[in-house]
Structure 1
């Protein structure tokens, strides 16, 4: 059974009373049940698995994990999975493992698979959107993930893309769990072919067959870059990673190349072919600004920065449907 904040404690307590063989849980909610749910214990636990342990500790779940370790028997098998081995992970390993055997799948933590093709586009900051639209047209019909640095930029891009007729859906940390799962399901099933996301989608998600990853905004560190582009070219399949690099990103980009241990190839473009989209993109940008303004104005009324989308915007029937999608998907 699954234990998260998405389901009520009472419903979970009833399910735990049936003594499930496997429990998948977030640390905080599991501790809550261990301390408050009568009759529930982990005294007979045989296997403890901590997946994405580095991320759990980065999200300050350390105290909850320490409490869980006090509730489980000493005689058990523990599996700790982590993309990196930080000092926090080393401390957790010492606390939770006895005579551990370490298995490393790569000596270079920034190594990428041979089936992944990586390119960059060096462009003026003011032309990021028009180059993005050019790339999406170049790779039309493919499943594409676009990464941004902020929630606001994720939402703005999703609105912009929808106003241009692309099947885009946003995913970020300000969406509730139901909305996140809904967005992921639509992307997985192909109902939406483009997922615009913050780094909440950079790791730990089961999204099969992503063809292209686009870094609309470069991340601040090389580790996050690797996690992002690792969304494609999985399980032996091929994939493409494209990074938009502006005059303000050079230092970050050079650090990423240094971590990768190689120079990336520049993606070939023709300026006149890119600028064909300029007028339509500028119109879509104006529409997105209006929608974002409306969303900010309704923030207090609807309890979320990113609900709404039924006010403002352009008046055509097509764009009205895009607004309805905003209301539906966050």
Structure 2
């Protein structure tokens, strides 16, 4: 906050911020205001105008000039006009590449239909088949992201996780390692589905199918960027058929199956099973470490509380 306050005191022409942090500065940083703002740009506007940021956005809109230019950007824009009205638009002009949701031409999209219990085996098979490429693999939960990263490391892949339970420094560290190509596999939750521009992502794998079809467009948009080609593979288990059909309906095309040799996949089962066991053990150890750290913090707080009471008691005796 302090270094940002110093930067804001220099009256920069452009401020790039998350809504929450911007409000922190508007409330706490002396001399900082947005009264002379000329342009308001909302990137990933559908997410920002959504309920997640409703209070923050409303607060910001109250303190900026009504006479301004407002720009809303997103690969998937919401149809609910009320949300756009909240951005206080006057005489809006809409520029759209297409009226329907599309993925780029240079992206080769495939799916693999597999039994749920063999997902890990198929993942390892595909990583071996496409060795030499860089991958972003999307999982639905932080826990599954961590587990799959440990599993792949145990099998010799240079994998690194990225999810919401990691602190900012660890997230940046993971991203930088992937960008510097010292890791070829990035395991991520939807925290990485928007806003990441990493030029060398060759393949996106939807290990867990997204529950919201629009998230599919953002995920596969991490590859085949700026005219480059790329590949995406979506894992579809017996439980995901309806979600997959919704995605096909949204993008308006039937995806081809990615060719796999089932016998070769099953040859990996024993090694994968062993790696799963190690991954589970490591996850449990990490959980125990976190719990111990948390308990230690609680003990410290309690002992500090007791000492405060004792000191307070002595002070009172002296006064009497």
- TM-score of the alignment, normalized to the shorter chain, above 0.5: yes
User: Aligned residue for 1:322?
Assistant: none
SS across alignment from 2:94: coil
Whether 1:297 and 2:283 are equivalent positions in the alignment is no
1:94, CA displacement in angstroms?
A: 5.5
**1:145 CA displacement:** 0.6
Q: Deviations over 1:149-175 (max 9, x none)?
A: 111100000000111110100011111
Residue aligned with 2:231, SS: strand
Instruction: State the number of aligned residues.
Output: 295
Residue deviations 1:254-294 (CA, integer Å, cap 9, x gap): 22222222221111111222223222111111100111111
Do structure 1's residue 91 and structure 2's residue 58 form an aligned pair? no
Tell me, in whole angstroms, the C-alpha distance in 2 between the residues paired with 1:206 and 1:89: 29
Pair 94,32 (structure 1): closer, same or farther in 2 beyond 3 Å: closer
- Give the Cα separation in 1 of the matches to 2:170 and 2:24: 24
- The separation in 2 between residues aligned to 1:59 and 1:247, in whole angstroms, is 32
- Higher Rg: 2
The alpha carbon displacement at 1:296 in A equals 2.0
Task: Kindly indicate whether the alpha-carbon contact (under 8 Å) linking 1:115 and 1:236 is maintained by their aligned counterparts in 2.
Answer: yes
Counterpart CA distance in 1 for 2:294 and 2:192 is: 23
2:66 maps to 1:81: no
Q: Does the 8 A contact of 2:197 with 2:222 survive in 1? A: no
- Indicate the residue corresponding to 2:3 in structure 1: 11
Tell me if the contact between 1:53 and 1:89 (Cα under 8 Å) persists in the aligned partners: no
**Which whole-Å CA distance do the structure 2 matches of 1:44 and 1:94 have between them?**
20
Query: Partners of 2:80 and 2:105 in 1: how far apart?
Result: 31
Q: 2:138 aligns with which of 115, 138, 147?
A: 147
Q: In structure 2, do the counterparts of structure 1 residues 153 and 91 end up closer, same or farther at CA, with 3 Å as the change threshold?
A: closer
- Contact preservation (8 Å) 1:215, 1:243: yes
Aligned mate of 1:181, from 164, 168, 172 = 172
Match in the other structure for 1:57: 49
Residues 237-265 of structure 1, C-alpha deviations (whole Å, 9 max, x = no match): 11111111111111211222222222211
8 Å CA contact 1:54, 1:89 repeated in 2: no
Deviation of residue 89 (structure 1)? 5.9
Q: CA deviation at 1:11?
A: 2.2
TM-score normalised by structure 2 residue count: 0.87
Answer yes or no: is the 8 Å Cα contact 1:209–1:234 preserved in 2.
no
Q: 1:199 to 1:303 in 2, by over 3 A?
A: farther
- Residues 95, 216 of structure 1: CA spacing in aligned structure 2 closer, same or farther, 3 A cutoff? closer
Residues 110-259 of structure 1 mapped to structure 2, 5 A cutoff:
111-259=102-250
- Describe how 1:14-29 pairs up with structure 2 within 5 A: 14-29=6-21
Gaps of 5+ in 1: 1-8, 305-330
Query: What is the DSSP-based 3-state SS (H/G/I as helix, E as strand, rest coil) of the residue aligned with 1:256?
Result: helix
1:301 CA displacement: 2.6
Q: Which structure: greater helix fraction?
A: 2
Cα offset for 1:193?
A: 0.6
